[in-house]
Amino acid sequence: MNKADNQVIITVSGTDKVGIVAGVSNKLLQHNVNIEDIKQTIMQDNFAMMMLCDISKLEVSFKEFKDSMMALGEELEMEIWVQKKDIFDKMHTV
Amino acid sequence: MTNFNQQQILETIEMVKIHHLDIRTTTLSLSLRDCCTTDTKKTAAKIYDKIIKYASNLVAFASEIENEYSIPIVNKRIALTPISLIGESCDNVDYIYLAQMIDKAGAEVGVDFIGGFSALVDKGFTKGDLRFFEQIPEALATTNKLCSSVNLGTSKAGINMDAVLKTADVIKQTAQMTANADSIGAAKFVCFCNAVTDNPFMAGAFCGVNEAECALNIGVSGPGVVSSAIAQLPKTADFGEVASCIKRMAYKITAAGEVIGRKLAKKLDIPFGIIDLSLAPTPLKGDSVAEIFKAMGLEQAGCHGTTMALAMLNDAVKKGGIMASSYVGGLSGAFIPVSEDAGMIEAATIGSLTIDKLEAMTSVCSVGLDMIAIPGDTPNSTIAGIIADEMAIGMINKKTTAVRIIPVIGKNVGESAEFGGLLGSAPIMKVNNYSSEIFVNRGGRVPAPLHSLNN
């Protein structure tokens, strides 16, 4: 698998509260996923965080990893999206 | 460290979540040219086995890729070589049996639709074609996923008017045989002028005789993305700015389709065919081509100015999309099906959109008269007249045109037909009540048009 295949963007959004970054990073640690970059913004009064992650050392399938992130989203009452990164590069640059 | 742009990520998520960006279809185009035998049962078995062999991973792999990118792939489909060509060499061919076995294979591999129950008769019929036409209604009435199409004319050959008349009979009979479900059988049948060989969209997808053994063709969608982008422009933005806005969005939509299509083709270990840059609506609110007209400043789809709006939209979609993919094909443009588009349904219901205006719009849209419900007692000769008009627009303008019309048995103007799912619902539209009977019964072939002295 090449590098692009291993890069995912994790987007977390919802009402700001204590423990979002900790909760998400902890889950990523459990899955052996490396965080390469983090950016935060406020979008329509909502907290939004985007993480660029490397999943090359993931020990479960992509689906299992994503399902567990989705479950975490429900637990934290935040919306979580996990997407391979190359789609953004292709869609938004000529 | 690799960079990423927050705005681009948020925009993409918004496109999917709010404006229904999706990949409408991943269609496996599959040649059946090696399935001809002299026995219907043997041919059916070869077709069945080939479908299972090539398509068994299509649905599972598409779901996997969909999950990786969080962009829905709405339909998974198969397009086969026109069955009239494959069945013809069988003694006493039974096309209904072939249809049922193809449908069974489609169900086995879990696809949504399977197309290619088709014939190409723009210049004339073979004996096999004649038998095929007779058996279309029962084939459609006794299957679920099967879609059928016929090509009745081309700009090179003219229009086969005998076939137009037979097609009107096929439509009516199919409607009658599926009368208990608002004549839904007719929604799975389409006739073309200048049919394309790599179209991934139903009901008209088939694998042309010039196509490779197999390929993956992608149909993208996203009218909601375009209408919301136009709606954000100031009301005074001129047409140059509007066109530019459509092009940008078409680029993004197509690029998403290209990434996903190539990934899936690679995973399936088959060649990537083409991407069809179409804006295909669904009955969901906001996923509508009619909404784009409204965003451009028309009060309703169908009011004066709609044809121009559609012409510009269709052209800008192609211009924007073509930059994002090297292999563009299929029908590419904007679809204007009535029952599958909430805004078109509304416009037809209140009387803003008529069948005559739709006919004018088809001279600039990507296909033709699509998913239009008409009274069930419409004479076959009137249906043939509607088809003839549409074929003429395609033949003269060197474009693909089509008719997918549903005479809803037992229903009349003021009522509505419910097809469900992506096919939606349709108000029964008024047709012209004066007769085309003598005209369409002349039969024969309309001569091919002159390709010079254009005016």
pLDDT, tens only, A59-83: 899 999 999 999 999 999 999 999 9
pLDDT of residue B298: 98
Residues B364 and B271 in one domain: yes
| B22 in reach of chain A (CB within 8 A) | no
**Shortest Cα distance from A87 to chain B (angstroms)?**
6
In this prediction, residue A2 has a pLDDT band, given cuts at 50, 70 and 90, of low
Answer yes or no: do B259 and A86 touch at CB < 8 A.
Answer: yes
Which residues, listed in sequence order, are joined to residue A54 by a DSSP beta bridge? A7, A34
Query: Given a cut of 60, is residue B134 above it in pLDDT?
Result: yes
* 3-class secondary structure per residue, B137-168: HHHHHCCCCEEEEEEEEECCCEEEHHHHHHHH
Kindly list the residues from chain B whose CB atom is less than 8 angstroms away from the CB atom of residue A83. 12, 68-70
- Chain B, 63 to 92: residues with Cβ < 8 Å from chain A are 64, 67-71
Residue B366 maps to a domain: yes
pLDDT of residue B425: 94
- Write down which residue in B193, B228, B246 finishes a domain: B193
From B65, which residue of chain A is nearest by alpha-carbon distance?
A: A84
**Shortest Cα distance from B66 to chain A (angstroms)?**
10
Residue B198 maps to a domain: no
* Cβ contact B320:B251 at 8 Å: yes
Residue B15 maps to a domain: no
At B404, which CATH number?
3.20.70.20
Kindly list the residues from chain B whose CB atom is less than 8 angstroms away from the CB atom of residue A63. 64, 67
Kindly list the residues from chain B whose CB atom is less than 8 angstroms away from the CB atom of residue A7. 2
From A12, which residue of chain B is nearest by alpha-carbon distance?
A: B10
Distance from CA of residue B71 to its chain's centroid?
22
Answer yes or no: do B4 and A91 touch at CB < 8 A.
Answer: no
- Write down which residue in B193, B228, B245 finishes a domain: B193
- Chain B, 314 to 343: residues with Cβ < 8 Å from chain A are 323-324
Residues B393 and B322 in one domain: yes
Residue B263 maps to a domain: yes
CA B77 vs CA B111, B189, B199, B386, B418: distances in Å: 5, 15, 11, 29, 23
pLDDT, tens only, B377-412: 999 999 999 999 999 999 999 999 999 999 999 999
Nearest to B26 by CA among B259, B226, B250: B259
In angstroms, the CA B234 to CA B242 distance is: 10
Query: Which of A39, A83, A94 has its CB closest to that of B69?
Result: A83
Residues B348 and B288 in one domain: yes
Q: How many domains does chain B have?
A: 2
By a Cβ cutoff of 8 Å, what residues of chain A touch chain B?
7, 9, 11, 36-37, 39, 41, 43, 48, 50, 52, 62-63, 66, 81-88, 90-92, 94
* Cβ contact B281:B337 at 8 Å: yes
**What are the tokens at B392?**
């003429």
Answer yes or no: do B8 and A92 touch at CB < 8 A.
Answer: yes
Answer yes or no: do A37 and B71 touch at CB < 8 A.
Answer: no
Of A15-19, A52-56, B142-146, B247-251, give the lowest mean pLDDT range. A15-19
Nearest to B345 by CA among B431, B426, B414: B426
> Within 13 A of A79's CA, how many CA atoms are on the CB side?
10
Q: What is the mean pLDDT of chain B?
A: 95
Kindly list the residues from chain A whose CB atom is less than 8 angstroms away from the CB atom of residue B251. 94
- Write down which residue in B193, B210, B237 finishes a domain: B193
Residues B298 and B404 in one domain: yes
User: pTM (2 decimals)?
Assistant: 0.94
Kindly list the residues from chain B whose CB atom is less than 8 angstroms away from the CB atom of residue A34. none
Residues B156 and B239 in one domain: no
Nearest to A70 by CA among A10, A30, A16: A10
Residues B335 and B422 in one domain: yes
Quote the domain boundaries for residue B430: 218-376+385-446
Q: What 3-state DSSP class applies to B424?
A: coil
Residues B223 and B366 in one domain: yes
In CATH terms, is domain A3-92 a member of 3.30.70.260? yes
In this prediction, residue B1 has a pLDDT band, given cuts at 50, 70 and 90, of very low
* 3-class secondary structure per residue, B278-324: EECCCCCCCCCHHHHHHHHCCCCCCCCCHHHHHHHHHHHHHHHHHCC
Please give the helix or strand (H or E) that residue B28 lies within, else none: strand B23-30
Domain boundaries, chain A: 3-92
Residue B264 maps to a domain: yes
Query: Which of A84, A88, A91 has its CB closest to that of B4?
Result: A88
Share of chain B above pLDDT 70, in %: 100
Residue B19 maps to a domain: no
Query: Which of B4, B70, B260 has its CB closest to that of A85?
Result: B4
Amino acid at residue number B16: V
A and B: number of Cβ contacts within 8 A: 71
